[in-house]
Amino acid sequence: MAELLETLLSWFHVVREPVGGVLLVVGGLLAIVGAVGLLRFPDIYTRLHATSVTDTGAATLMIVGMILLSPTGWVALKLVFIWVFMFLANPTASHAIANAAYTAGMEPKIGPSGDTGEADR
């Protein structure tokens, strides 16, 4: 049993750095996807949907990658705290924007967007 744990631990130390790096890159790509969504979507609610999910997801992946790459346990613990705070604050900020848009009276756009070539209905 102890040998199995030792083997697992040695594997962990081997894959720690590549996996951490891959997670960081994937998180960055997810953030770029979110930014593309922000540019391409037609109205505020769809844009919010694109950015809130991808931003929080990208931040989570990057923080997990950084936890795998962190030199000491203290740094990993602090990163966990940062993640908890971000998990609380990011969706709340998106909710705040959607709330403000709704209270200000902006209606979600219903129907096909202008890209299909049809006239606006």
Partner 1 sequence: MSVVNPDIGVLLVNVTLLALLFFVAIAIARLRSLFAIVMLTGAYSLISAMWFVAVDAVDVAFTEAAVGAGVSTVLMLGAMLLTARTARVEPNWKRLGPLAVCLVTGAVLIYATIDLPAFGDADSAANSHVGAMYLQRTAAEIDIPNVVTAVLASYRGFDTLGETAVVFAAGLAVSLLLGFGERSLSASHKPARANLKGVLVPSNKSDHHVVLRVVAKVLIPIVMIYALYVHFHGELSAGGGFQAGTIFAVAIVLYSLLFGITAALDAFPVIWARSIAAFGVLLYAGVGFWALMNGGNYLDYDFVLPPDDPDYGPEDANTWSQHVGIILIELGVLFAVAGSLISIFYAFAGRAPEIRDEDW
Contact residues for partner 1, defined by CB under 8 A: 85, 88-89, 92, 95-96, 99, 102-103
Query: For the CA atoms of 108, 111, 115, 119, what is the dihedral angle to 10 degrees?
Result: -110
Burial of 29-41, coded b for 16+ CB within 10 Å and e otherwise, reads ebbebbeebeeeb
Q: Would you give the DSSP letter of residue 51?
A: H
Nearer to partner 1, 77 or 89 (CB): 89
Instruction: Give me the least distance between CB of 86 and partner 1, in Å please.
Output: 11
Distance CA 36, CA 50 (A): 9
Nearer to partner 1, 12 or 78 (CB): 78
Instruction: Give me the least distance between CB of 59 and partner 1, in Å please.
Output: 15
Nearer to partner 1, 7 or 99 (CB): 99
Instruction: Give me the least distance between CB of 66 and partner 1, in Å please.
Output: 14
